[in-house]
Every structure is written in C-alpha cells, then in structure tokens.
Amino acid sequence: MAIKNLLITGSNGCVGQYLIDWFLRNTRYRLYLMVRDKNKLPLAIQKNKRIKLLICDIRECDRFSKEISQVNFLIHTATAWGDPKRAYDVNIKAFEELLGMLEKDKLEKIIYFSTASILNEQCELMRESLTYGTEYIQTKYKCFERLKESSFAEKTFAVFPTLVFGGTLNKRSKYPASYLTSGLKEINKWLWIARFLKLDSKFHFIHANDIAQICGFLIKNHKEENYKGFKKFVLGQNFISIDDAINILLKRNGMNRYFSIPLTKTIMKILLRVLPIQMTPWDSFSIKKYDFNHVPITNPEKLNLKSYARSLQDVLRLAKLPGCNIN
C-alpha cells in the first residue's frame, strides 16, 4: 500500500507540533511540514526520516509546488494577524494559491483551521464578526465564505477551535505553550481583585492535544456517508462561566471568597458608557455579546474518544500552573 502524504502548515505553532506528534505516533504517513524557521522544531522531528521540511513563508510556497502537488491530506493551521495587509495576504491570498497547487485527483481531505469568533451560538456565520472584528477575524470570515463556495468544499473539514491551551509553563515542555497557557503566568496577579467580582459569561476551551486527536480521527476514520457536503466542527469542551473559572483558580491557590459583586450584562453596558476605557470595536461587541458558547460543539467524547484535558482543572494541572492544590 502506497504511503500517504500529509502537509501541515503552521507546523512551528503549538497546535502544529501536537499534530505532528499525533500523526507520527498513529500513522505511517509521510509528513510535509511547512515552516519559516526549522530551528523552532525539536531536533528529533527535523531528523525524522518520515518528515520533509518545506522551509518557506506560506506566501512563497510556490517554491515547493512539486511536493504540494503530491499531497493527499492538508491540515492548514498557518495564520497571521496584526497587520491588515499581511493578514489578507496570508489568511486568504496565500491559502488560495496553495489550494491551486494541489492535485485534486490525489487530494482526499482538507482540514482548515478557522476561529470560533466568526460563529454565533448556533454555529452559523455571525455578521458582526465582519463588521466589528479585527483584521484576523475579518479575513477568517471572508476565507471561510470563499472556501465554502469553492471546488474544494466537498473535501473540506472546517474546524473552529475555541480557547486553546497547550504546552506547559516550565522550560521542559515538549511543545510550545499556546498564547492562553503563556498568559496563565499573570493570573495570580489579578486573583485578589477577581474574587470580588461575579461574571457569569460563558466560554468553551480545548487542549491542543485534543485538537490533534480530533483532526487525526477526521483524517483517518470518518466515513463519507456520515459527513455530506461542506463540514464544520466547533472544537471545545462543555462551556463553563468566568465565575466558575475564578472559583477553580481561587481553590487552587488556597484563597477564600467571602462576597462578590455581580457584573450583569446591563451593568457591563453602563460601565462601558461611563468609564474612560479605550477599546476596539471588537472589544466593545464582545462585552455586549457577553456569552461565547456554541451548539453543537465537538470534543473527543463526541467521537467516542477520550479527552486529554476535559476540565479546566485538567488544563491547569497539565500547564504546570503553580498553586496550593496541585492534584
């Protein structure tokens, strides 16, 4: 049986490296890894005989058009934000040029990474994301619309991660820490005041290891008859509230909570009007929206798998976040 070829873009990132590890352990695929800096990959990956590095910015990936034409599976995680032109060039233009280099007769599946920020509670496109979103959110919205109408739609699984954790806070981590995990370093600085506030705003989260599990399942095990047409999956564990998260962190740090002031949606709107706080249009919209929960969501259990990190307690333990309660 011929060995399949899998291309992963954004391979240097947190999710990218969990994906690499999963496919090396669970498949015999040949992995094409698109990276800008190979030195950000562990030496064991760089030297693995099943891996071929495509060292380039995705905007210059035509240098590897021959390799790209041999791809059977594409997992596209590469993205850009901050500068509007770069966001458009990377998130839309370069991705569509990459699709044009694929050989459709060889290509079996695409897993396209978007963001849950462009979807409403019913997992449909949220127009406000295009109106108020950052350049990253806006380009992801536009790219999703174009991909859904493209000739690649039938072969595409669009995944929408919610808040992503991964890696650890110590230097011995096998994987790079996600932005959220890195942000946990600052969390104890704000707990002393957060314990006096009550915010019931809901959110989902997911660990990068569980994202890799789900992508592996979709590539290897999905049955075509169960997934007709363009397919989308919001990746996350069951929602919790910000207040639940505060209580978990307080318990972990051995801190008491004697009272809390409810910050309702109405109070938040009033505070936005009276406080001299500078916010982007997306910040203002997010506060007014209040909840970021979705139905349905997909986690490993929905696919008869077992989550690596099913609870926020699991996430904090795996991140090696210091605390009084480390169990």
Could you tell me the two tokens for 259? 């009272």
Is 186 or 161 the better-scoring residue by pLDDT? 161
- pLDDT band at residue 287 under the 50/70/90 scheme: confident
pTM of the predicted model as reported, rounded to 2 decimal places: 0.93
- How many helices and strands in the chain, by DSSP H and E? 14, 13
Is 31 or 229 the better-scoring residue by pLDDT? 31
Which residue(s) pair with 110 in the sheet?
Answer: 74, 156
- Secondary structure letter of residue 64 according to DSSP: G
**Averaged pLDDT of the chain:** 91
Residues 5-164+205-235, CATH architecture: 3-Layer(aba) Sandwich (3.40)
pLDDT of residue 266: 77
d(CA 249, CA 287): 22
- If we measure between CA atoms, which residue out of 70, 75, 100 comes closest to residue 5? 70
The answer to whether the beta carbons of residues 241 and 202 sit under 8 Å apart is: yes
- pLDDT band at residue 222 under the 50/70/90 scheme: low
- In this predicted structure, the answer to whether residue 174 has a pLDDT above a threshold of 90 is no
Domain ranges of the chain: 5-164+205-235
pLDDT of residue 228: 62
Tell me what the mean pLDDT of segment 127-155 comes to: 96
pLDDT of residue 262: 87
Tell me what the mean pLDDT of segment 88-115 comes to: 96
d(CA 177, CA 105): 37
